[in-house]
Amino acid sequence: MTVALSADAEPAMRSWLRAVVAAADELCATIGYDAVDVLGAVDDANAENGASLSGAYIALVGDNLNLQVGLTSSAGGCQTLAKALLGMEPDDDDLPESDVADAVGEIVNMIGGGAKRIMSEGDSSLKLGLPLFINGRILETDHLEAAASAVRIGTTDARLLVLRHRV
């Protein structure tokens, strides 16, 4: 099942996705990586092979906006990102799932906050929610649209997502 097409995403969604990528880029210095390597827009917010992706999402809600900002990767990719945030090496013992969820949620929290700062000066109605870690696939609805970029953060392949309900 395909959830929206980045190529078809309207300008506002593309702007938000660029802001999300820029915010992820700012985060890289904190977790010891160079800039985010943007591999390109992807046509499906989900993995092509039908696999479940792990990741975290955070809501950005205002008077005129209702978005979810997300970061997804494989389970191993989430482990690597969580270890990087905590200053650990990729070969260190794996973290418990709860710590991965907490750390990846915090990464998305920072990306969401950065994107909000980039996009919303002057819009005091915009509020950032609390992150939620999910393992699974995004299911299509008639009202859901998405913009997604495949990126590499350090050595980890991931997707940065902006999801919105059409109103």
**Least distance between other proteins and beta carbon 55 (Å):** 16
DSSP, collapsed to helix, strand or coil, labels residue 40 as strand
**Least distance between other proteins and beta carbon 66 (Å):** 17
* Complex with other proteins: residue 77 or 114, whichever CB lies closer: 114
The H or E element containing residue 41 is strand 37-41
* Complex with other proteins: residue 85 or 146, whichever CB lies closer: 85
- List C-alpha distances in Å: 54 to 3, 70, 101, 124, 136: 16, 10, 9, 31, 6
Q: Which of 15, 60, 53, 76 is nearest to 133 (CA)?
A: 53
* Complex with other proteins: residue 121 or 142, whichever CB lies closer: 121
Cα-trace Rg, the chain: 15
**Least distance between other proteins and beta carbon 151 (Å):** 16
* Complex with other proteins: residue 117 or 137, whichever CB lies closer: 117
Hey, what amino acid is at 139? L
- CB of 44 closer than 8 Å to CB of 144: no
* Complex with other proteins: residue 61 or 144, whichever CB lies closer: 61
Binding residues for other proteins (CB under 8 A) = 26-27, 29-31, 82, 85-87, 99, 102-103, 105-106, 109-110, 112-114, 116-117, 120-121, 124, 128-130
**Least distance between other proteins and beta carbon 114 (Å):** 7
Q: Which of 14, 18, 54 is nearest to 36 (CA)?
A: 18
**Least distance between other proteins and beta carbon 133 (Å):** 11
